[in-house]
Amino acid sequence: MPDQTDTFTPFDSVDYLHDDEDIRLYLEACLAEDEGDGRLIAHALGTIARARNLSRLAMQIGMSREGLHKALSGRSQPSFGTILKVARGLGLELTFKPRAA
């Protein structure tokens, strides 16, 4: 019997963000799971930026690609201003509404 070796690639959410609806659902799930420090949201925005061309977004919002990647890695806490720039650069709109009781 020949040696069979399965090869797996690491999971990357980028592979599943094909359209605006996928992105909306992904962000909603990340918002629901964020521990309150915003790191998961920053990471989610980084994932969306990679899906939509991180280099172009960095240039558009006036950051280096490396700086943007670091800010949205989920290991740091970018400023709210950076989050707003990224969201707007990605064509996203932030909305706040009262939580259901």
What backbone torsions phi and psi does residue 6 show, to the nearest 5 degrees?
-80, 140
Using alpha carbons, select from 61, 8, 79, 15 the residue that is nearest to residue 26: 15
Q: What is the pTM of this model?
A: 0.85
Tens digit of each residue's pLDDT (9 = 90 or more) over 23-60: 999 999 999 999 999 999 999 999 999 999 999 999 99
Instruction: Please report, for the chain, the start and end positions of each structural domain, with discontinuous segments joined by +.
Output: 17-89
Question: Any alpha helices (H) in the chain, and if so which ranges?
Answer: 20-33, 39-52, 54-61, 65-71, 80-89
What backbone torsions phi and psi does residue 68 show, to the nearest 5 degrees?
-65, -45
